[in-house]
Amino acid sequence: MKTKISTSLIVFLQCTLILYGVILEESASAGEQDKLGGLGFSDRIGLFPEIPGWKKTDTMDTYDRRSLYDHIDGAAKLFLSYDFEALQLVEYQRDDSASVVVEIYRFQTPLHAFGIYSQERPLKGKYLKIGVQAYLEAPILNFVVGNRYVKINSFGLGKDADRILHTFALTIAVKIGGTTSLPAALAYFPLNGKKPNSEKFFAKDLLGYEFLCSGYTADYVDDNREFQLFLIEGTHSDDCLEMLKRYLQLAKSGQKIIKEGQYDIKDPNYGEMSLFWKGKTICGVLNLADRDKRMKYTIQMEGLIK
Amino acid sequence: MKHDERNHSRRAFLSKSIKGMVAGGIFGKFTGNALSFNLEDKKAEAEKEIICRTLGKTGIKIPVVSMGVMNASLPELVRRSYEIGIRHFDTAAVYMEGQNEEMLGYTFKGLGVRDKVIIGTKIFIPHEQRGMSPEKVKEIYLRVANESLKKLQTDYVDILYSHSVNDLKWLNHPGILEALQLLKKQGKARFIGFSTHSNMADCISDATRSGLYDVILTMFNYTLWDDQSLLNALKNAHLKKIGLIAMKTQCPQYGGHWKDVPSSKLPYYEGKMMHAAVLKWVLRHPFITTAVPGYTTFQQMETDFAVACDPEYTEEEKKFLNDKNMNLSLGYCRQCGECAKQCKNSVDIPTLMRVHMYAECYNNFYHARQTFDDIPSNQSLNSCASCNQCSVHCTHGINIVNRIKELQAIYG
């Protein structure tokens, strides 16, 4: 019993020291300095905490927009389109040759960090509240916090993998800081029928159309029928007007007068779809044949949009 | 007239390919009218002849343009790609943390076309973690391959690659070879291959010698136009019937190449023109069976796939490829003239470099010959022939001596 208490006390003290260190460094660091561009102050001091029982390797690999390709090959293109800024990579090693590799990708905004995370998260996964959100699929744990997307990959952790990955993620998330909230626009998607964790943010070319800007999608199920809702937030209503005009051109719609409201479009790639334009927002429904149901969902979204 | 023979041979070959004829067993064709289309106005597309080639000893015949799925997350883009005639889809276990394979599997299952498509996927171990034992590497490869099959919702993949092979040690790693061969034996991989992004010539040459791999997915684009060791390695691999697939074909889209170009002109250099022109450059090499451009929009898909029906350059594309800014971004001869000042025989080296570019890069031997003939004889290759010690040095790193020798082989 005495041994257990002593062990618990040591673990408690270690955690306290880690958090204390985190708080001290947070007071001096992070987001504001990143605005300087390149590798900012927070990068220089390092976001990689000491983890009891683990030793960091002496070197830290860093990549910027030009060199990211060297690390992840062609996947770099996607990251660059999400305004990737820098990547740092550190490996932790344990005496038994187990290792944990931590990659911290920094993006221009938290929304872009969430965007790339949303493209890579699985529909079915073990989700955790770390930072904005994390998912755990041992041997990996990935999460997003602030403008960082963190990937933790492990080797040889055995049965303790979940616990160790969790510890790493929690400690790193606190050290990075920044927002832990999902993008506000996700609240415009109705809850009924929505598949959990299916929301995605696209940095550009929403729906695969170059005339559309960035936007969100989410997957839904209604009567066993799968379909998608999407949302575009323009900077002002003229943006939306222009995008809508281009969309109608694509669909070869003869409609000339464009005003706010509901539109039914025969999309050459998605088939019958509906969208609703209001101010600087466009929302819509794809892959749902039943027009009444499409109407139902666009009306719901319209109601949720402020 | 050696140059005439070469000229004729290449031009005739290209001419035949464009017409979709079967030339020497390399090209095939099909019309897409047997494909299912959802929309009436797409039928015209289906009537176009799509150039197909055979992937080495695998015998797989596929259109010269495939889909690099890596950055695409829209099932509709994959579905539409299938509808217009694309049959080969390239993904990897690491793309989008596995979501890319998941999306592809979901889409093909929905379409019910698994037996009509060729799926290539890849297994990747990061470079910094490649010091593991062969047993561990084998274990990871087998585990990841099985996970990929699950995500792709299939019992087999057509091509299973070892991803990002940049050195001979990894190429011939016993753990990898054992795993790939076992998966092939189990019927989980019809063919095995590797992908390579650097040190390509060495890896391809070694694989050609060993014959252990069926397919090679290699970075290949116009920035490599004067890499003779790579070109020779590819030609030899092709002769040994190793299937060659090109990736990173439209490299300028990865950014950073246009730092001297005003932002207002970037759409010109990164847009439709660039995509089509540089993809054509790749496909005009007959040893490449197909390319896997990584498009993410419907417009890019249409631009890329149009090349599968007509790889001939348009006048605008020729102009684009000759554009000063393009050349600056490629390491092409900048025509600065510094070399000419160094030559004691007053050879017109800048023009000879242009001749070389027309011939080797664009396969435009007609224009190359015209340009060559315009050089006064006392400033042309004749003057070089009398000089054994070329001391000319290109300030931008072009190997002038090599290029002169190649021109002498053609025009000497």
Residue of B nearest to A208 (CA): B297
Q: B99 vs A120: CB contact, 8 Å cut-off?
A: yes
| Mean pLDDT, rounded, of chain B | 82
- Residues of A in Cβ contact (< 8 Å) with B77: 208, 269
Residue B27 CA to residue B20 CA, distance in Å, equals 7
CB contact, 8 Å: B299 with chain A?
yes
CB contact, 8 Å: A269 with chain B?
yes
DSSP-assigned letters across all residues of A276-295 = EEETTEEEEEES---HHHHH
CB contact, 8 Å: A227 with chain B?
no
Burial classification of residue B113, based on how many CB atoms lie within 10 Å of its CB (0-12 exposed, 13-18 middle, 19 or more buried): middle
**Neighbouring residues of A53: CB distance < 8 A, sequence distance ≥ 6:** A94
Q: How many CB atoms lie within 10 A of CB B337?
A: 10
Instruction: Tell me how close the Cα of B372 comes to any Cα of chain A, in angstroms.
Output: 38
CB contact, 8 Å: B40 with chain A?
no
Q: Please check whether residue B283 is in contact with residue B272, taking contact to mean a CB–CB distance below 8 angstroms.
A: no
The residue among B390, B229, B404 whose CA lies nearest residue B333 is: B404
**Neighbouring residues of A303: CB distance < 8 A, sequence distance ≥ 6:** none
The pLDDT value recorded for residue A15 is 42
Higher pLDDT, A6 or A275: A275
Residue B303 CA to residue B382 CA, distance in Å, equals 44
Instruction: Tell me how close the Cα of A270 comes to any Cα of chain B, in angstroms.
Output: 7
**Neighbouring residues of B99: CB distance < 8 A, sequence distance ≥ 6:** A119, A120, A121, A122, B73
- pLDDT tens track for B211-267: 999 999 998 988 777 778 899 999 999 999 999 999 988 864 333 345 456 677 666
Residue of A nearest to B126 (CA): A71
* A290 alpha-carbon distance from chain centroid: 31
The pLDDT value recorded for residue B332 is 59
DSSP-assigned letters across all residues of B345-356 = T---HHHHHHHH
* Secondary element (H or E) of residue B108: helix B99-111
CB contact, 8 Å: B129 with chain A?
yes
* A274 alpha-carbon distance from chain centroid: 27
- pLDDT tens track for A60-110: 888 888 678 778 877 888 999 999 999 999 999 998 889 999 999 999 999
Instruction: Work out how many CB contacts closer than 8 A connect A with B.
Output: 82
The residue among A104, A85, A86, A92 whose CA lies nearest residue A59 is: A92
Q: A269 vs B255: CB contact, 8 Å cut-off?
A: no
**Neighbouring residues of B89: CB distance < 8 A, sequence distance ≥ 6:** B66, B67, B69, B78, B81, B104, B117, B118, B119, B120
Confidence of residue A257 (pLDDT cuts 50, 70, 90): low
Please provide residue B247's backbone torsions phi and psi, each rounded to the nearest 5 degrees: -125, 175
Instruction: Tell me how close the Cα of A119 comes to any Cα of chain B, in angstroms.
Output: 7
The pLDDT value recorded for residue A29 is 35
For residue A35 the two structure tokens come to 């605005």
- pLDDT tens track for B100-159: 999 999 999 999 999 999 999 999 998 778 888 999 999 999 999 999 999 999 999 999
Residue B247 CA to residue B163 CA, distance in Å, equals 12
- Residues of A in Cβ contact (< 8 Å) with B292: none
CB contact, 8 Å: B133 with chain A?
no
Residue B195 CA to residue B175 CA, distance in Å, equals 17
Site of tokens 């001596």: B401
Q: A77 vs B294: CB contact, 8 Å cut-off?
A: yes
**Neighbouring residues of A195: CB distance < 8 A, sequence distance ≥ 6:** A123, A218, A219, A220, A221
pTM assigned to the model: 0.77
- Count H helices and E strands in chain B, helices first: 19, 11
The pLDDT value recorded for residue B271 is 75
Percent helix, strand, coil in chain B, to 5, is 55, 15, 35
- Considering B211-225, B295-309, B385-399, the range whose residues carry the highest mean pLDDT is B295-309
Q: B71 vs A77: CB contact, 8 Å cut-off?
A: yes
Burial classification of residue A301, based on how many CB atoms lie within 10 Å of its CB (0-12 exposed, 13-18 middle, 19 or more buried): buried
Q: Please check whether residue B347 is in contact with residue B380, taking contact to mean a CB–CB distance below 8 angstroms.
A: yes
For residue A185 the two structure tokens come to 């626009």
Residue B185 CA to residue B188 CA, distance in Å, equals 8
- pLDDT tens track for A7-59: 444 444 444 444 433 333 333 334 433 433 344 444 544 689 999 999 998 88
Interval A134-160 mean pLDDT: 94
Amino acid, res. A130: I
Q: Is 70 exceeded by the pLDDT of residue B272?
A: yes
| Mean pLDDT, rounded, of chain A | 85
Instruction: Tell me how close the Cα of A23 comes to any Cα of chain B, in angstroms.
Output: 32
Lowest mean pLDDT among A114-118, B298-302, B391-395: B391-395
Percent of residues, chain A, with pLDDT higher than 70? 84
The pLDDT value recorded for residue B335 is 67
Q: Please check whether residue B78 is in contact with residue B109, taking contact to mean a CB–CB distance below 8 angstroms.
A: no
The residue among A158, A119, A155, A112 whose CA lies nearest residue A135 is: A119
- pLDDT tens track for B289-300: 999 999 999 999
